[in-house]
Amino acid sequence: MNADALKTLKADMGIDPAAVSTCLEDFIRSHMEKLERKGAILGLSGGVDSAVVAALCARAVGADRTVALIMPERDSKRQHVDDALKLADQLRIEARLIDITCYLKKLGVYGLLVLNKIPLTMRLKGLLVRKAYRLYAGRAGRSPFAATMLGFSGKRFAGYIQKGAAYYRVKHRLRMVLLYLHAEIENKLVVGAANKTEYSIGYFVKHGCDDAADVMPLLKLYKTQVLELARHLGIPSSIVDKPPSPDIIPGMTDEEAIGMPYEQLDLGVEERRIGYVCDLINRSAHMKRTYAP
């Protein structure tokens, strides 16, 4: 795509952040009332999507009726936790820090990753995870992200990839359970943070905290539009400008896992990568529905 075409597309993708914010605040507020809830609750990860949702909830239902669960575990980077805590303080919303490491240990989750059986620093572990990710993609002809959208029958290295999928998915599902536990005790609306870009290509965990929620206010906004809204809402640059990361496996960023940056996904995929993106959309279709006879 040439520079002029990219400039035009960026202009077409632009939003009126003030108008969008007002619309989404009304959406959250109206659903809270419709579902007879008394406030909102969300998972605050330290990433931009959940940060925007937190700000919208505070504006929509009031900071005093908004609760953020910050749920790190031993693979989480401290920077993300610190960013989440600082944002909650800035928004004046209640933040509850719940370390889920102990629950994951009891479930035997950490034993699923071979690298956890070796004494390694987080930095070295991250380097090895990225190397293994690229090695699998090179030999299997498909990234682990794409491979794990369907089952593993007949796939190379199936045992490793199955355990890897179980390893990271359970973290988001456990967070979803905790969100609904607190929500139902306190009669709050569970507000999710999935955006259109990630949802379209299946970059989420089915039945996880980025999928199972009462409302998803960002689901019609592309990632680049969420960033625009974040700047309007005053989300700190420490959150907006840092590389997006799922923060569930050491060393992985969204760009590494997906295979391209969000701007390229939103504003123009290279011709040679169009088939790859279409494959992600098709392979993840089942994640967005429940089948019945």
- For the chain, the domains span 3-288
What does the pLDDT look like over 180-227, one tens digit per residue? Answer: 999 999 999 999 999 999 999 999 999 999 999 999 999 999 999 999
C-alpha–C-alpha distance, residues 136 and 256, integer Å: 13
User: Which amino acid makes up residue 280?
Assistant: L
Name the 3-class secondary structure at 70: strand
| Closest CA relative to residue 198, chosen from 48, 23, 41 | 48
- The token duo for 150 is 């369907």
| Closest CA relative to residue 18, chosen from 172, 221, 229 | 229
Name the 3-class secondary structure at 96: strand
Specify the pTM. 0.94
Q: What local confidence, expressed as pLDDT, does residue 6 receive?
A: 66
**Per residue in 241-253, is it b (16+ CB within 10 Å) or e — as a string?**
ebebbbbbbbbbb
C-beta separation of 80 from 247 below 8 A: yes
- In angstroms and rounded to an integer, the radius of gyration of the C-alpha atoms of the chain is 19
Q: What local confidence, expressed as pLDDT, does residue 161 receive?
A: 87
C-alpha–C-alpha distance, residues 92 and 267, integer Å: 35
Higher pLDDT, 154 or 50: 50
pLDDT over 70 (residue 279): yes
Residue 233's pLDDT band (cuts 50, 70, 90): very high
Average pLDDT score over the chain: 93
**Tokens 């991250």 belong to which residue?**
126
pLDDT over 90 (residue 238): yes
Q: What local confidence, expressed as pLDDT, does residue 156 receive?
A: 78
Mean pLDDT for the stretch of residues 45-61: 98
- The token duo for 257 is 């896992």
Q: Which long-range contacts (CB under 8 A, 24 or more apart) does 237-243 make?
A: 238/83, 238/86, 239/46, 239/47, 239/48, 239/51, 239/83, 239/87, 240/48, 242/79, 242/83
- Number of Cβ within 10 Å of residue 207's Cβ equals 14
Which residues are 94's β-sheet partners?
67
C-alpha–C-alpha distance, residues 156 and 27, integer Å: 45
C-alpha–C-alpha distance, residues 44 and 85, integer Å: 9
What does the pLDDT look like over 133-176, one tens digit per residue? Answer: 998 888 888 889 999 999 988 887 888 889 999 999 999 999 99
**Tokens 């959208």 belong to which residue?**
149
C-alpha–C-alpha distance, residues 43 and 256, integer Å: 23
Q: What local confidence, expressed as pLDDT, does residue 128 receive?
A: 92
Architecture of the domain spanning 3-288: 3-Layer(aba) Sandwich (3.40)
Mean pLDDT for the stretch of residues 14-22: 97
C-beta separation of 249 from 114 below 8 A: no
Name the 3-class secondary structure at 46: coil
| Closest CA relative to residue 86, chosen from 253, 193, 234 | 234
Name the 3-class secondary structure at 272: helix
